[in-house]
Amino acid sequence: MATFTSTSRQPFNAEHVRKDFPFFETGVAYLDSANTSQRPRHVLYAMDEYFEQFNSNVHRAAYHVSEVATERYEGTREAVRRFINAHSAKEVINTRGTTEGINLVAYSWGQKNIKAGDLIVLTILEHHSNIVPWQILAAKTGARLEWVDVDEQGELRLEQYHALLEQKPKLVTLSQISNAIGTINPAKQMVHDAKRAGATVLVDGAQGAPHQGVDVRDLGCDFYAFSGHKMLGPTGAGILWGRRELLEAMDPFMAGGDMIKAVRQEGTTYADLPLKFEAGTQAVAEVIGLGAAIEYLEGLGMENITRHEREITEYAMEALSELPGLRIFGPPVERRAGVVSFEVEGIHPHDLSTIVDRHGVALRAGHHCAMPLMIRLDVPATSRASFYVYTIKDDVDRLVEAVADAQRIFA
C-alpha cells in the first residue's frame, strides 16, 4: 500500500490537505460531501495497487497474490475495528454501504425478533434508508412505527422521545447526524435511555463516522452502520458493526459462496462470523480503499476534522445569512455538523443549483432522501452545502457570490 505520513500532530491546513485530492485540479468548489466525498491519492493508490499487483479473489486460493489480497481485505476489517473501537474484528461486517447494513439488520434480526404489536421508534430526521426497511418490516409483522418530531430549530423533541420509551419499544433507530439539516443528535444519551427501556438500538452513522468518528463501546448501541464513500473511500464498501451475541443469533442475509462452512444435500452449516454475512465475491478493491481512507482520516485526526468543519460551517452560516430572503434550516453551529441547508425566497432549489453550477459550485438540491423531514419543514426541497476536510473559505465565498447572482437573475 502507498505510504502515508500522519499529520494529526501538525496544525490542520485544509489548503494543504486539498492538494492530496486530484479532483480539485478541476477547479470545482465541491459542496456536496454529505452526498459523497472526494478521494485522496492515498485511497486511489491503494486500489490501483490491488488491480495492478494482486487482483484476485479472497479467502479462496492458496497462491501468493490471493493471500496478499486476503491480507489487505482483512486488514481493512481490523482498521475498522480500531477506528470504531469494537471488541473484535468478528463484529465488523463488510457491506455495500449504510443502506445494506440497515437492511441486513431489518431482515436478519428484525424478522426473527419483531412481532405483531411491537413498537419501533424512529425520528423524523432519518434518511430513507433508515425509514423504508422498518416500514416494510412493520407491514410484514404487524409492528407499529412511532416518530420523534423536531422543534423549530430542527432538534429532536426529547420529551416526546422519553414518552415513547415508556411504551417499551422493541427497537429504537436513529441517526447520529442528520444528513439533511446537519443536526447533531444526543446519540449517546438517547442510546442509554433506550437501553434502559429494554430496546435494541441501531444507529445510522453515515454522517457520524466521517465527521465525528465513533466509539461503539462508549456509544452503547447494538448496531452501527456507515458508508465508505462518505468518508473519503470508494462507493460500494460500507460497514455494519453489531454486538457479537446478536450477530451470532441472526440468520444470514444472503446465501452463496464464502458464507458457508459445509454444504450437503441435507443442509448447510454456515461460516463463523463475520463471513456468515459476506456471501459471494466481495468488492475487494473497494474494501481495501475503505481501509486506506480510514488510515488517511486517522492521520489527519478526527478532532482536527471536526474543528475545521465547525469553523467552515460558522463562516458559511454568517456569510449566507447576510443575503436577503435566505432562510437557513437547523440548529446553531455548536450543535450542527458541516451541513448548511437553506432556501432562497422566490428561487426553487433546483433552479438555484443550476445557476450556481455555472459558477463552478457543486451544490445539492432536493429532499436529500429525507422526505418526511421536508414535509415537516413545509418545504418541497432545500439547497444544501456540505463540507469536509478539503473545504476552504474560498468555496463558501464562491457559493455566496453565485447565490447573489441567482437572486439578481430572479429579481
Residue range of the domain that includes 371: 301-410
Domain boundary among 277, 298, 319: 298
350 and 226 housed in the same domain: no
Lookup: cell for 174: 436513529
> Residue 403 maps to which CATH number?
3.90.1150.10
Q: Is the pLDDT of residue 7 over 60?
A: no
pLDDT at 302: 97
pLDDT at 2: 43
210 and 330 housed in the same domain: no
Question: Is-contact 171 121, C-beta < 8 A?
Answer: yes
Domain boundary among 269, 298, 327: 298
Please return the burial class of 219, using the count of CB atoms within 10 Å of its CB with bins 0-12, 13-18 and 19+. Answer: buried
Q: Is the pLDDT of residue 6 over 70?
A: no
Among the listed residues 356, 349, 350, the one whose alpha carbon sits nearest the alpha carbon of residue 329? 349
Question: Is-contact 32 363, C-beta < 8 A?
Answer: yes
**Would 16 be classed as within a structural domain?**
no
Question: Is-contact 96 240, C-beta < 8 A?
Answer: no
Q: Annotated catalytic residue: which of 1, 28, 323, 369?
A: 369
Alpha-carbon distance of 161 to 113, in angstroms, equals 22
Confidence of residue 11 (pLDDT cuts 50, 70, 90): confident
288 and 326 housed in the same domain: no
260 and 314 housed in the same domain: no
The conformation of residue 12, written as its DSSP 8-state character, comes to P
Alpha-carbon distance of 4 to 352, in angstroms, equals 39
Instruction: For residues 70-85, give the mean pLDDT.
Output: 98
Confidence of residue 60 (pLDDT cuts 50, 70, 90): confident
Question: Is-contact 73 282, C-beta < 8 A?
Answer: yes
- Which are the contacts of 400, defined by CB distance < 8 A and separation ≥ 6? 319, 320, 322, 323
pLDDT at 393: 98
Count of domains observed in the chain: 2
pLDDT (tens digit, 9 = 90+) per residue, 350-368?
999 999 999 999 999 999 9
Say if pTM beats, i.e. exceeds, 0.85. yes
Instruction: For residues 98-116, give the mean pLDDT.
Output: 98
HEC profile of 291-309: HHHHHHHHHHCHHHHHHHH
pLDDT at 61: 84
pLDDT at 10: 61
Q: Is the pLDDT of residue 250 over 50?
A: yes
CA 144 to chain centre: 26
221 catalytically annotated: no
**Would 248 be classed as within a structural domain?**
yes
279 and 380 housed in the same domain: no
Mean pLDDT (the chain, rounded): 96
163 and 291 housed in the same domain: yes
pLDDT (tens digit, 9 = 90+) per residue, 205-225?
999 999 999 999 999 999 999
Q: DSSP E strands: which ranges in 124-259?
A: 144-148, 171-175, 200-204, 223-227, 238-242
Residue 134, φ and ψ in degrees, nearest 5: -75, -30
Q: Is the pLDDT of residue 1 over 70?
A: no
pLDDT (tens digit, 9 = 90+) per residue, 139-194?
999 999 999 999 999 999 999 999 999 999 999 999 999 999 999 999 999 999 99
pLDDT (tens digit, 9 = 90+) per residue, 274-322?
999 999 999 999 999 999 999 999 999 999 999 999 999 999 999 999 9
171 and 319 housed in the same domain: no
Domain boundary among 233, 264, 298: 298
Element (H, E) at 335: none
**Would 29 be classed as within a structural domain?**
no
**Would 314 be classed as within a structural domain?**
yes
283 and 353 housed in the same domain: no
Q: Is the pLDDT of residue 8 over 80?
A: no
pLDDT at 176: 98
pLDDT at 359: 98
Question: Is-contact 254 279, C-beta < 8 A?
Answer: yes
306 and 215 housed in the same domain: no
Question: Is-contact 312 338, C-beta < 8 A?
Answer: yes
Question: How much of the chain, in percent, has pLDDT values that exceed 70?
Answer: 98
